[in-house]
Structure 1
Amino acid sequence: MDHSPKFCRAQAAFHQSRADATSLPNVRVIEYAAAQAWTREAELAEMVDRRRARMGLPS
């Protein structure tokens, strides 16, 4: 299943806010890694959307 860039950015923001809000170092590391992963996923989803638009396919 493809995720939209908007969904991925929302997930990244959610995990970043959890990382910022916690006082537990292990949780901070995990949440920060999740935020980075969702940010990268958003970048990939944007690339897919651009490719589909170039080819005239529905997104």
Structure 2
Amino acid sequence: MTQDVNFCWDQAQLHQDRADATDLPNVRAVALAAALSWRKEAEIAQRVADRRDRRSAVPAPLY
């Protein structure tokens, strides 16, 4: 299942904020890794959405 782009960016920001707010190095490391993963997922979701929009904009050929 493909995640929504906005959901992915929200999750990335949530984990980035968590990393910024903690003094614990292990919590920071995990939160930063999660934020990076969600950013990558957001980029993938954006490419999928763009591709879907391009495909729906192209009219079907008439035979």
TM-score, normalisation: structure 2: 0.86
Highest Rg: 1 or 2?
A: 2
TM-score by length of 1: 0.92
Ranges in structure 1 where 5+ consecutive residues have no aligned partner: none
Which 4+ runs in 1 deviate beyond 6 A? none
Report % sequence identity.
51
Residue 27 of structure 2 is matched in structure 1 by 27
What is the aligned-residue RMSD (CA, Å)?
1.1
Q: CA deviation at 1:34?
A: 0.3
SS in 2 for 1:13: helix
The answer for unaligned runs of 5 or more in structure 2 is 58-63
User: Would you say how many aligned residue pairs link Structure 1 and Structure 2?
Assistant: 57
Kindly state the Cα deviation for residue 2 of structure 1 after the two structures are TM-superposed.
1.4
